[in-house]
A and B are shown apart, each in its own frame.
Chain A
Amino acid sequence: MDEISDFQLVESCLEGDDTAWKDIVQRYQRLIYNLAYRFTGRFELAEELSQEIFLKIYRSLKKYRKQRGEFKGWITVMARNYLIDYIRKEKKNWNRYGGTDELDTLDYKTDDISPYGHVEKLEKIQFVHRCLGELSVDLRESLILREIEGMSYDEIATQLSAPLGTIKSRINRARIELARIVNMRRLSGAATGDFGRPTEEAL
């Protein structure tokens, strides 16, 4: 079966076809949701941000019609910009979400990981993400783009409009500071207290 192209869907969408928009949402919700999760390490927050990002995409469809190009790439850039904006603007609320109950919301599964390894893995990620939240915004955003999004130094420099040398030294500092924070939190026992759950409970 021929799949309707993204551009056709956007066209129909702009003509007021709700089904077309629904198709776009179905097609790309996974991409956006995972991007938001990787940036935040929080399920609920990722969900909330996904809604906001799709709303932004929806309102920008006209712009896409003008410039065309690959739709997936276009929305990825838009989502990434939105998430960076979020990190910069919501700094104060960074630790508002999540906490020990967050993993309870994980009643759905990923495709390729057993629930056991999955929960343990997500606990680790959430713990390190929490620690990441203690870095300054400058360091945090650079590190997310490098470590989590796997972008090159050049790409990061462009994305954040900063000189290459600055980005490199930020990432270097961010790695060192994050390692220290993670160690400190682990030693203070926060890993099993504030940051995660005892293993038997998780299973």
Chain B
Amino acid sequence: MNCQAFEEQVTAYLDGELRGSELTRFEQHMKECTLCAMLIENIQENIAIFQDIPDLAPPPHLAVKIMEATRVSKKGLRGNPLEFLRLEFPLVPRLAAAALVLLFMLTLGFNLLTQYPADMTELQQGDADLVSLVDYNSNRLVTKAVQAYQNVEESYETAATFFTGVKEFIESNYEQVKSAFRGQEKKEEEKEPEPKEMNQTQNMPGHLSKSA
């Protein structure tokens, strides 16, 4: 037996289908040929690895994401996605957020265009492949759209937390900042305390980057 003939019988051997002289010749080659012996060993290792895949607990947020995906697919967006544009944020992030929303709307729009009525499946029994293709793509798009929406939400939340942080910082340090500026401009009081090294580290929204 040569190596090629050996290879052709690998699965039959592993499945216990080789008998009599076939089995003898196969095992004889395995004894004589290190490479083929190693091949069998490696294949058995791989089989063992695959059979040993543990049963995983799904990530805790999975159910929520699934619910979200179905809800969006069913009703469109919950609430008004443009609502946050009315909030008092500086112009640049507002525009960026608007662009994200627009992008999302386009994705969703595209998805809606590629959707088909549920009854179509029954009409096109013969064209099952086409239907399955359309179905598959529309599925992917809805989920992508949901993910895009989730991303928009996330960046919105990050931005909101950040600007709230900035606002709080400015408010809490307003008097100090104001007097510091006044002190600089008028150069009146040289005793003006160097104000806020400590406050800064505590109040600046810099920690956000860690949690974001």
In the complex, A124 has a CB within 8 A of chain B: yes
- Whole-angstrom CA separation of A51 from B142 in the bound complex: 10
The reply to whether A55 and B57 form a contact with Cβ atoms under 8 Å apart is no
In the complex, B20 has a CB within 8 A of chain A: no
The reply to whether A29 and B63 form a contact with Cβ atoms under 8 Å apart is yes
* Segment 155-193 of A: residues with Cβ below 8 Å from B: 168, 171-172, 175-176, 178-180, 182-183
**Contacts between the two chains (Cβ within 8 Å), count:** 135
16 CB contacts below 8 A, A to B, read A25-B66, A29-B58, A51-B143, A52-B139, A56-B135, A62-B118, A82-B136, A85-B136, A105-B59, A111-B57, A125-B50, A147-B47, A171-B11, A176-B7, A179-B43, A183-B42
The reply to whether A63 and B63 form a contact with Cβ atoms under 8 Å apart is no
The reply to whether B65 and A56 form a contact with Cβ atoms under 8 Å apart is no
Besides A55-B66, A59-B118, 7 other A-B contacts (C-beta < 8 A): A21-B70, A37-B56, A52-B139, A55-B139, A58-B70, A81-B132, A172-B8
* B residues neighboring A (CB under 8 Å): 7-8, 10-12, 14, 39, 42-43, 46-47, 49-60, 62-63, 65-67, 69-71, 73-74, 118, 121, 132, 135-136, 139-140, 142-143, 146-147
Among B11, B74, B140, the one with the most A-chain Cβ atoms within 10 Å of its Cβ is: B11
* Segment 136-169 of A: residues with Cβ below 8 Å from B: 147-148, 150, 168
- Whole-angstrom CA separation of A171 from B53 in the bound complex: 19
Tally of chain A residues near chain B (CB < 8 A): 54
The reply to whether A55 and B58 form a contact with Cβ atoms under 8 Å apart is no
Q: Please name all residues of chain A whose beta carbon is closer than 8 Å to the beta carbon of B58 when the two chains form the complex.
A: 29-30, 33-34, 47, 50
